[in-house]
Amino acid sequence: MGIWTVRASDPENGLLSYFVAWGDEVVNAGVPTIMISNSNLQTTTFSHSYPRSGTYYAKFKVSDSSGQSAQTSISVNVTHTGQDITVLSPNGGEQWKAYSTEMIRWGYKNLPSTSKVDIYLQPTMPPCPAGMGCIQVMPERIVLDKNITIGGGYNWIVATDIVNNPIPVGNYYIEICQAGTDTCDLSGQPFTITAQSL
C-alpha cells in the first residue's frame, strides 16, 4: 500500500477536482479517482495498492471550477517481497522480429518444479502529446500462454498471442506470473517487437 499527498490551492476559493490515474488501470474499465472539496488550500491524501511488481506512472491532476488545472506525475517502482519468479529474457532493450521464434526465460525459487506459470505481454504507455500533459491508463495486457511448466523457458512465435492473433510492432514488457495468481514479475525495461524482414 502506497500513500500520496497532494497540496493544491485556488485563489478564487472555488471547488477543486482531483483526478488520479495510477498507471495500472485497464482501458475502458472504470474511471480515475475523482475527489471534490471546497477548500482553497488543502492537503489531500490518496492510497493505492499495486498487485504486481513493475514500474508504474501515477498521474495527478487538479482542476478548479473555472477550468484552470495543474498536473504532475511520478514514477513508482513496485517490488513485492518474497517474489519467487524473475523475468530473465527479454528484460530490456532486445529487438525481436515479428514471427521469429525467441526464448522467453525466467528464474524461480521456493516453488516446486511441477508449478505452472502464465505469460503475458504488457504494452508500454503511449506518450502524451508534445507540449501537453495527460492522464492515461495502462493498456490491457495480452495473454501469450497459460499453465506452462515452470522449468526451462518458453519458445514464443514473436508477435502472436495465445490464439495466434497478430500483435502490432512496438515496445512491450514481458510479465511472468505464478499460474492463476497475481504473484508476478515484470521485465525491468521494455523490449521491442520489430517488423518482419521482407
This prediction has a pTM of 0.66
Residue 21 · residue 128 · CB < 8 Å = no
Q: What is the CA radius of gyration of the chain?
A: 20
Using CA atoms, how far apart are residues 152 and 185, in angstroms rounded to an integer? 16
Note the pLDDT of residue 55: 78
CA distances from 20 to 49, 69, 74, 116, 117 (A): 14, 13, 11, 35, 32
Cell numbers given for 186? 515484470
> Residues in the chain, how many?
198
**What domains can be seen in the chain, in order of their start residue?**
2-78 (2.60.40.10), 85-194 (2.60.40)
DSSP 11: T
Contacts of 127 (CB under 8 A, 6+ apart): none
Residue 124's Cβ-count burial label (10 Å; 0-12, 13-18, 19+) is middle
Note the pLDDT of residue 28: 42
pLDDT in tens, 154-193: 999 999 999 999 999 999 999 999 999 888 888 888 999 9
